[in-house]
Structure 1
Amino acid sequence: MTRPRILVIDDDEAVGETLQMTLVLRGYPAVWRPSLAEAERRDDQAEVIVLDLNMPGHDGFTTIDDIARSRRHAQLIIASGQSEKIIAAAVACAKAAGIAVLGALEKPYTGRELVDVLDRFVPGGPDPNADDAGLIQAAIADGTLVERLHVVFQSKRDLKRGTITGYEALARLTGERFVSPELMFGPAVPLDLQLQMTRKVFLESIAAWQRLNDAGAPVPISVNCNPQTLCHPAFLDMVEALVRDAGLPPSMLLVELTEHASLEQAHQLARAASRLAMLGFRMALDDFGRGTTSYERLTRLPLAEIKIDKDIFWSACAGEISMSMLREVVTFCHANGMAATIEGIECELHRREALALGADFGQGFLWDKPGELLAQPEPAVRQAVGR
């Protein structure tokens, strides 16, 4: 079935372009414009309009009237940081003008939340995650979820030399098939249980680093952590104790914050991240491009690195989105003292494209797939890290 074309109207360029990329990656033809007037000027056609209700110089209610006059066939999704009463009034106004309203989103919201609204109105096939979600719920019920979790590692490489500059720890469930970590650490899993699983990932990562150190190749190891876990009251003390007991320099652990699971209160995240940084831990933002994190919001976090999502990079390589957008991200990183890593490097062409963007590091199947950290002989490990 052909999916409807989406027009995103938002005055924030970073948010608008990110939403456009997310929609395209999820199979929705989409375009972002800073105003309805600009969309009219470019003669953009759309079946669904995502409208930011409150933009400087634009009255959202007047824009709704304009949509009703010129785009009666278009359905509407209203996005706003205004109060529920104002949003409800806008929805009522649109409906009174004959516009079908698919839903309303409170800002800030993620690209995934927008896709969820759209998916409810676009018939599709069975949910591919349904079986995995059932598997996780069964493991929660019988108390084996933490026990079944194990950790694999994938190297991060210097794009110019190909040398190993670090590893990423990736959580997996023991079994015959891959289960998405987004489900393992998703809202259906109790937060205290997520904290237990995160602790296990840290423990295995620390043990892996100690093996690397013994082999003469002590490079940092990254551990993924969603904002909810990072802000858990017990998280900071837990991580500090694990590192202290192991005698591990905190700088050898890079905490990768998963962007697509955002908190409503950004200051809570900034507080937790800053406290972690004060202890000597380094932080990165993982999967940049999947959510709606803006450049301005990035500057609030003590980040050492930004990792650009592989699907965004692949779309740029395929010409579906502008490569210049990613180049701007890399330039922003370097201007603010952050390294830029490209995920999803699966061939030499990908490596060259990432290098042309000015990125520092890459990660992907070009070099290795996730697996046991020291599966290769010790001399090969030393050679791989340039020793």
Structure 2
Amino acid sequence: MSLADCTVLVVEDHEFQRRTMLQILANLGAGALQEAADGEGALELLGGGAPADVVVCDLDMPGMDGVEFLRHLAERAIPASVVIVSALDDAVVRAAETTARAYGVEVLGVVRKPLTARRLLEVVGLHQPVRPARTAASAPPSAWQEALAAGAVTALAAPRVDLRSGRIAGVRVGAVREADGERHAAERDAVAPEPAAAVADLLLAAACRALLDPRVGPGLDATVVLPPAALADLGLADRLAARAAAHGVAPQRVTIALPGRPALPATPGQLDVLTRLRLRGFGLGLEEPATPTAGEDLPLTEVGLACDSGDEALEAGIAAFQARGVRVVALGCGTAARTDAVAQLGCDRAQGLAVGPVSVVEEALPWAEVAT
């Protein structure tokens, strides 16, 4: 299909950039042009009888970001092809593209900012009508619902040391519940979507409290480990961002992590949430991924590797993830000798009893004073 036969909708919050795109498309001979300053406005246009053949969409927009907009595009079965235009990090853009395709959206291509007329013409000319797919329903609630209602879910914090400076640089925050005299970790237990979302809220609030402890320095960051089912909540990124803002904590100080087994993401919705967490400024992590290539479709910023996995395997994992620009944390360092060993292998950080004890966030953090 030629550009002259297309109606093109440009969705871009920056007026100058929107006008520039519209002018380029007009110069290229687009059949008809529409514009919207955000995702909400674009959906109103598309739902109000103004069909578009191609949607040229920015990702980083206030309110409804580009990933959320593309999800709504798929859910409403709007048969428009999409061109993603962005200046964001390549890993984030790739994840957004993968998410859109997983939802059934026809992604014609990605155009990096500053865009060129030639590249825009190349991708828009690939348009073919499509009919997107819909997402799956959530699973039923689990036993964690009762634990949450009873106030029996506890947030635990473990310090992480920067192996170059020797100072506490971060804290890992995870949730446990007591049952039959045993502790069950949320990230490894069977937690259904509804309670998993509540656990995510609890953990983010706990992480913010730890970061705001007056004894820790402003450079300390937190890694919050969620149960995988929390990703069933498509509003997770916005809610966690709002909760962090309410505490006065920048999302850039928080990494949202998940267990690396089984491999994630498994559904379009999960990739949607993870990509939008990065768009909101959070880091993204995996703990104990199955292979050094795990999470290649995710915009990862951190990975946790078991320090007892053997020096050869650990060194290979460190090299593979660091080559992707991902920070590597050695987990389970029980002795000073093992901590020194993982430092020699090139790990960025370490966590374990040799670094500092696990403590309840609401109680005194015994390692906090050395983090200032």
Q: TM-score if structure 2 supplies the norm length? A: 0.55
The count of aligned residue pairs is 230
1:359: Cα distance to partner? 0.8
Unaligned runs of 5+ in 1: 1-135, 317-322
Q: 2:308 is matched with which residue: 299, 306, 314?
A: 314
Find the aligned partners of 2:265 and 2:225 in 1 and give their Cα distance: 20
Equivalent residue number for residue 254 of structure 2: 253
Equivalent residue number for residue 44 of structure 1: none
CA contact (8 A) 1:156 1:166 kept: yes
CA contact (8 A) 1:228 1:263 kept: no
Equivalent residue number for residue 192 of structure 1: 194
Structure 1 pair 205–176 and aligned structure 2 pair: CA distance change class (3 A)? farther
Residue by residue over 1:10-49, the C-alpha shift from the partner in whole angstroms, topping out at 9 and shown as x without a partner, is: xxxxxxxxxxxxxxxxxxxxxxxxxxxxxxxxxxxxxxxx
CA contact (8 A) 2:303 2:326 kept: yes
SS in 2 for 1:298: coil
Answering whether residue 316 of structure 2 is matched by residue 328 of structure 1, we say yes
SS in 1 for 2:242: helix
Matches within 5 A, 1:1-387: 137=143, 140=145, 144=148, 147-173=151-177, 177-182=181-186, 186-187=189-190, 189-212=191-214, 215-263=216-264, 265=266, 267-288=268-289, 291=290, 293=291, 295=293, 297-309=294-306, 313-316=307-310, 323-373=311-361, 375=364, 381-382=368-369, 384-385=370-371, 387=372
Unaligned runs of 5+ in 2: 1-141
Structure 1 pair 260–240 and aligned structure 2 pair: CA distance change class (3 A)? same
Structure 1 pair 285–215 and aligned structure 2 pair: CA distance change class (3 A)? closer
Structure 1 pair 375–355 and aligned structure 2 pair: CA distance change class (3 A)? same
Structure 2 counterpart of 1:234, which letter?
G
Residue by residue over 1:332-363, the C-alpha shift from the partner in whole angstroms, topping out at 9 and shown as x without a partner, is: 12211111111011112211220121111100
1:204: Cα distance to partner? 1.6
CA contact (8 A) 1:226 1:261 kept: no
CA contact (8 A) 2:163 2:349 kept: yes
SS in 2 for 1:179: strand
Structure 1 pair 367–215 and aligned structure 2 pair: CA distance change class (3 A)? closer
Structure 1 pair 306–146 and aligned structure 2 pair: CA distance change class (3 A)? farther
Structure 1 pair 147–262 and aligned structure 2 pair: CA distance change class (3 A)? farther
Structure 1 pair 144–333 and aligned structure 2 pair: CA distance change class (3 A)? closer
Structure 1 pair 165–306 and aligned structure 2 pair: CA distance change class (3 A)? same
Q: TM-score if structure 1 supplies the norm length? A: 0.53
Find the aligned partners of 1:167 and 1:144 in 2 and give their Cα distance: 23
Which has the larger share of helix?
A: 1
1:161: Cα distance to partner? 3.6
Find the aligned partners of 1:176 and 1:167 in 2 and give their Cα distance: 28
Find the aligned partners of 1:222 and 1:279 in 2 and give their Cα distance: 15
CA contact (8 A) 2:169 2:220 kept: yes
Find the aligned partners of 1:146 and 1:303 in 2 and give their Cα distance: 35
